[in-house]
C-alpha cells in the first residue's frame, strides 16, 4: 500500500516487544531496524534528573517512586530479566531476548538511562563502525518523541503541579536537556496532560508537540489541538476512524496512533491516511511496509 515518504514508523519505548523497553539496547535495536522515531517516557529523580522509565514506581509499580530516589539510588535497583540484569521498571518483552552481542553499543550500560544519555547514545550511533552507513544516516534523522508522565491527581510523581498553566519543573528540565545537546529540531514532546504540552510550547514555540488521547473521541479535535498549541494528534488506535483522520488533517495537523501491532490494523489506518504508526514491533511493521508477509500476535 503506497504511503507518503514522510510516514513515521515509531518504535514504542524503543522496540518494546523485542527487548526491555526504555533501555539503550531497545533503542539500539529500533535504530538498527530503521525506525524514523522513538517514543520514550520521562520521570524525574529526586535530584531532578529526567530519566527514561514508564512507571512512576519501580518494580512494576510495587516499589518506591522514581521521584523519591536519586539517580544513583535508582540505578542500584536491579531486576533479573532472562539471563541479564535489566533496570527495574522495564517490562519483560513478550518474545525472546536477543543476545547481548546484537546490541554492542548498549552493553556498557544496563541502568535506566537519563534523557541526556539517550541523546548522546544516538549521537554515538551515528559514527559507530558497528553500524552501516544507512543505519548511521537513519540515526542522524531520528525524531526523539518524549512523553512527559504527568498524572494531575498525583503531582508527587513528578514533584510539582501547575499554577495557572505556568511551565513547571518537568517541562523546564526536559527542554533544557533538549537544548543542551542541540536536538531541538528533532525533538518532540507529548503528554496526556495537555496543559504540559501547552506549557512547554510557551517556553519554546518551535518545539514540536503532540497531545495523547485515550478511550475517547473529542467532539472537535481541531479545537483541542489549537487549545494545546499541539502539532500532532496521538490517539489510542481504537479511537480512530476515517472521520477522526479527516478532522485532524482539516486542522492542518498530523495523526500518529498508538500502539498498533497487527497488520489488519496497520492496513485500515493507512487506508484512512494516518501520518505514522507507533508499534511495539517495528521489525514487523517495516517488513509489512516493504511487502513482506508478517505473522500476527506476540
- Does residue 165 have a pLDDT over 70? no
Residue range 251-266: mean pLDDT, rounded: 98
- Does residue 87 have a pLDDT over 60? no
**Any alpha helices (H) in the chain, and if so which ranges?**
24-33, 71-76, 115-125, 133-141, 169-181, 194-203, 221-228, 242-250, 263-272, 282-289
Helix (H, G, I), strand (E, B) or coil at 209: strand
pLDDT at 43: 96
Sign of CA dihedral 214, 148, 112, 99: positive
Count CB neighbours of 213 within 10 A: 21
List of residues 6+ apart from 217 with CB closer than 8 A: 235, 239, 244
pLDDT at 104: 83
Q: For residue 37, which phi and psi values (nearest 5 degrees)?
A: -150, 160
Going by pLDDT thresholds of 50, 70 and 90, the confidence category of residue 298 is low
Q: Which has more pLDDT, 4 or 283?
A: 283
- DSSP designation for 96: P
CA–CA dist 144, 37 (Å, integer): 6
pLDDT at 294: 67
pLDDT digits (tens, 9 = 90+) for 13-25: 999 999 989 999 9
- Does residue 94 have a pLDDT over 60? no
- Does residue 81 have a pLDDT over 60? no
pLDDT digits (tens, 9 = 90+) for 183-197: 999 999 999 999 999
CA–CA dist 257, 151 (Å, integer): 21
- Does residue 93 have a pLDDT over 90? no
CA–CA dist 170, 259 (Å, integer): 25
CA–CA dist 175, 188 (Å, integer): 10
- Does residue 219 have a pLDDT over 50? yes
CA–CA dist 81, 85 (Å, integer): 6
CA–CA dist 93, 85 (Å, integer): 14
- Does residue 126 have a pLDDT over 50? yes
85, 111 in Cβ contact below 8 A? Answer: no
Q: Which residues pair with 79 in a beta bridge?
A: 86
Instruction: Give the range among 102-106, 179-183, 205-209 with minimum mean pLDDT.
Output: 102-106
Q: Which domains does the chain have, with CATH numbers?
A: 8-254+276-289 (3.20.20.190)
Residue range 43-57: mean pLDDT, rounded: 95
pLDDT at 18: 92
On average, the pLDDT of the chain sits at: 88
Going by pLDDT thresholds of 50, 70 and 90, the confidence category of residue 36 is very high
Amino acid at each position: 500500500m503506497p504511503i507518503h515518504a514522510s510516514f513515521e514508523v515509531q518504535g514504542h519505548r524503543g522496540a518494546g516487544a523485542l527487548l526491555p523497553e526504555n533501555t539503550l539496547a531497545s533503542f539500539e535495536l529500533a535504530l538498527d531496524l530503521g525506525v524514523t522515531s522513538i517514543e520514550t517516557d520521562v520521570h524525574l529523580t529526586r535530584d531532578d534528573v529526567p530519566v527514561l522509565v514508564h512507571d512512576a514506581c519501580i518494580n512494576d509499580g510495587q516499589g518506591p517512586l522514581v521521584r523519591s530516589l536519586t539517580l544513583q539510588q535508582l540505578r542500584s535497583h536491579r531486576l533479573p530479566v532472562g539471563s541479564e540484569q535489566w533496570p527495574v521498571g522495564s517490562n519483560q518483552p513478550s518474545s525472546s531476548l536477543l543476545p547481548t552481542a546484537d546490541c554492542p553499543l548498549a552493553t556498557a550500560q544496563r541502568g535506566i538511562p537519563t534523557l541526556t544519555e539517550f541523546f548522546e547514545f544516538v549521537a554515538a550511533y551515528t559514527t559507530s563502525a558497528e553500524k552501516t552507513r544507512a543505519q548511521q544516516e537513519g540515526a542522524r534523522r531520528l525524531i526523539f518523541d518524549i512523553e512527559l508522565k504527568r498524572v494531575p491527581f498525583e503531582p508527587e510523581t513528578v514533584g510539582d503541579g501547575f499554577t495557572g498553566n505556568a511551565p513547571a519543573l518537568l517541562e523546564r528540565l526536559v527542554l533544557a536537556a533538549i537544548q543542551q545537546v542541540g536536538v531541538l529540531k528533532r525533538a518532540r514532546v507529548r503528554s496526556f496532560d495537555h496543559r504540559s504540552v501547552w506549557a512547554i510550547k510557551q517556553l519554546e514555540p518551535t518545539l514540536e508537540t503532540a497531545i495523547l488521547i485515550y478511550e475517547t473521541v473529542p467532539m472537535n479535535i481541531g479545537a483541542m489541538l489549537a487549545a494545546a498549541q499541539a502539532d500532532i494528534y496521538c490517539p489510542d488506535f481504537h479511537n480512530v476512524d476515517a472521520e477522526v483522520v479527516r478532522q485532524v488533517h482539516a486542522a492542518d495537523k498530523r495523526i500518529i496512533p498508538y500502539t498498533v501491532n497487527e497488520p489488519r490494523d496497520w492496513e485500515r489506518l493507512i487506508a484512512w491516511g494516518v501520518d505514522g504508526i507507533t508499534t511495539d514491533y517495528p521489525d514487523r511493521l517495516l517488513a509489512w511496509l516493504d511487502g513482506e508477509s508478517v505473522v500476527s500476535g506476540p
